[in-house]
């Protein structure tokens, strides 16, 4: 176990596989002990078919949480062993129903003592241990259904990398990046419009000198994200949150969220009571981000953009 002590929790899958191998090896010996000619991996399918049940391969797969090809392979092996057969009594010829054969039914009856002995042995093991593995497995299965290991690691990666993101105020050295980052995403989904060029070609005149603000996200000193706060002429809204763009190579680092939070904070510092934004519903990650920031959908505002099909506001 020195390997697992060195590697730590990152080797969880390997350690579980090793324990599975040990238990499976013992399971084979246990079947031999009780005189049962049986392969341990068949058990979930076999047990599901007990009590003379008639099921399709799809129904078995859904019940035990295995893939359909995996169950099909096990069924073929069990048929070769004489434990399972197709149910020829069914009237529905569209279904490939299977049932336990007479040999399978006899085995199901004969292993009842074995199952009881195993149950007691596991209870003894649980009583000898400080932690109830059976209960823990049930809890872990539930938690992983709610949020997979992949998602948990992905979130941790995003959190760690986001700590290296620095949000700074715009200076002329970022003019080219401000335009390039926006052109990149706009051109990917839509076409550049006149209103885009007004803001991107002259950010100092169009945004900053009118009382707005531009923030830049730096990752390893490289500008990888931008967002602007543009002063509006609309008496209902103080600013528009606009021109948010994140480089595809830097996505997954929470940059949009960090920029959004910083822009909202800047709006509050500037005394804004309400801000709005314009977007398009095909940009699902962006829309989800805006909802997360607290924006709500509004209707009826004038827009200079053909691509706009959703408008949202945030009361500060």
Note whether 235 and 265 are within 8 A (CB).
Answer: no
- Cα-flanking dihedrals φ and ψ of residue 153, to 5°? -70, -40
| 228 Cα distance to chain centroid | 30
Give the pLDDT band of residue 240 (cuts 50, 70, 90): very high
Average pLDDT score over the chain: 91
Give yes or no for residue 91 having a pLDDT over 90.
no
What is the DSSP track for 128-161?
A: HSSS-HHHHHHHHHHHHHHS-HHHHHHHHHHHHH
Mean per-residue pLDDT, 233-262: 92
Give yes or no for residue 88 having a pLDDT over 70.
no
List the domains of the chain with CATH numbers: 2-152 (1.10.10.10), 160-315 (3.40.630.30)
Mean per-residue pLDDT, 255-265: 95
Question: How confident is the model over 113-145, as pLDDT tens digits?
Answer: 999 999 999 999 999 999 999 899 999 999 999
First to last CA, the chain: 56
Predicted local confidence at residue 154, as pLDDT: 87
Percent of residues, the chain, with pLDDT higher than 70: 97
Q: How many angstroms separate the Cα of 65 from the Cα of each of 14, 54, 57, 71?
A: 21, 18, 12, 10
Predicted local confidence at residue 285, as pLDDT: 93
Question: How confident is the model over 146-197, as pLDDT tens digits?
Answer: 999 998 988 888 888 878 899 999 999 999 999 999 999 999 999 999 999 9
Dist. CA 100–CA 53, nearest whole Å: 8
């Amino acid at each position: 176990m020195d390997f697992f002590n060195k590697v730590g929790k990152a080797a969880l899958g390997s350690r579980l596989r090793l324990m599975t191998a040990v238990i499976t090896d013992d399971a084979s010996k246990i079947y031999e002990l009780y005189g049962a000619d049986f392969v341990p991996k068949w058990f979930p399918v076999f047990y599901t078919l007990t009590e003379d049940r008639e099921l399709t391969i799809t129904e078995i797969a859904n019940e035990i949480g295995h893939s359909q090809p995996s169950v099909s392979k096990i069924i073929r092996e069990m048929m070769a062993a004489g434990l399972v057969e197709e149910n020829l009594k069914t009237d529905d010829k569209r279904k490939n129903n299977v049932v336990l054969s007479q040999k399978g039914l006899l085995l199901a009856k004969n292993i009842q003592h074995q199952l009881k002995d195993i149950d007691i042995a596991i209870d003894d093991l649980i009583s000898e241990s400080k932690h109830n593995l059976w209960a823990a497995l049930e809890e872990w299965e539930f938690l992983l259904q709610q949020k997979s290991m992949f998602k948990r690691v992905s979130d941790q990666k995003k959190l760690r990398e986001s700590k290296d993101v620095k949000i700074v105020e715009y200076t002329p050295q970022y003019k080219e990046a401000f335009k390039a980052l926006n052109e990149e995403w706009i051109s990917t989904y839509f076409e550049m419009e006149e209103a885009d060029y007004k803001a991107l070609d002259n950010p100092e005149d169009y945004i900053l000198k009118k009382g707005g603000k531009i923030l830049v996200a730096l990752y390893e000193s490289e500008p990888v994200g931008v967002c602007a706060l543009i002063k509006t002429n609309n008496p209902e809204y103080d600013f528009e949150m606009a021109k948010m763009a994140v480089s595809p190579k830097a996505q997954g680092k929470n940059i949009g969220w960090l920029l959004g939070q910083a822009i909202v904070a800047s709006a509050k510092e500037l005394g804004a009571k309400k801000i709005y934004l314009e977007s398009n519903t095909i940009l699902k990650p962006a829309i989800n981000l805006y909802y997360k920031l607290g924006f709500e959908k509004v209707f009826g505002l004038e827009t200079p953009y053909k691509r706009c099909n959703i408008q949202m506001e945030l009361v500060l």
